[in-house]
Amino acid sequence: MRQVLITATELAQALEQEGAPQVFDCRARLGDLDAGRRLWEAGHVPGSLHLDLDRNLAAEPGAGGRHPLPSADDFAATLRRLGVTPQRPVVVLDDMGGQLAAARAWWMLAIWAGHPDVRVLDGGLKAWQEAGGELVLGQEPLPEPSQWQPTFDDSARIAADEVFSGRELKVDARSEERYRGEAEPIDPVAGHIPGAVCRPSAANLADTGRFKAPEALAAELPRAEAIVAYCGSGVTACHNILAYAVAGRTLPRLYAGSWSEWVRDPSRPVARSGRGNA
């Protein structure tokens, strides 16, 4: 399994060396499309560019859910515009919920688009600042566009109809309360996909806000011959997939539409209460 995390100290050292990684700041705030860019402009890792969750890492909300994947062509165009090439390492980071948007960027770049060296900054921007990392203001110049034509691996994702008819274990990355249908602050229907188990993404982290040790994650993460990861809109699920990668386990497939797509079709079954963690 490729290395998927990088510490703040390792990132600082890498940025001083030849062939420094390209850094993408994926900060975002639910309900405020421009908040992530404002936060980036107000202070970011030197040289980092903003990678927007809603505009770059998702298509318009609609039938595919709240954060459907963009088309492969659109995402490839974004990567070329930002100068991404498979020859230069990439580091992604954010500042909320244990790197949720950064995990989505990691999955899209490394697993879907096939970039060979993408890492998530463990602990995010907080870890960078705690390590004494500098923050700079304003914008950064874009690099020269690249000519990269990624080969997308659509076998890493799964559609709603396959989830409906398949036998893979469904692992829900939302909170226990949302899984059981006791609370649903975002989507119009509460509950979970029948047969799913709950693995809240927060359980992947230690008290420090960094990922637990690989051996701990390997012991805790749900096991099955085949697994589908989902959440509310296909973002938090990527955090669980990243945890499987940290643990050295076989990666689940992503149901990108997740609960926000599932409940758009009233013929799809909904479960409430039931068992949580596997």
Which residues have a catalytic role annotated? 231
The whole-angstrom separation of Cα 178 and Cα 184 is 6
- Among 30, 99, 67, CA closest to 256: 67
Which two structure tokens, joined as six digits, stand for 109? 């770049």
Q: Which helix (H) or strand (E) holds 230?
A: strand 227-230
Do β-strands 227-230 and 169-172 pair in parallel, antiparallel, or remain unpaired?
A: parallel
DSSP state of 151: -
> Measured between alpha carbons, how far is residue 41 from residues 35, 97, 120, 143, 277 in Å?
10, 21, 20, 17, 39
| Sign of the Cα pseudo-torsion (93, 211, 225, 160, in order) | negative
CA gap 128, 122 in Å, rounded: 9
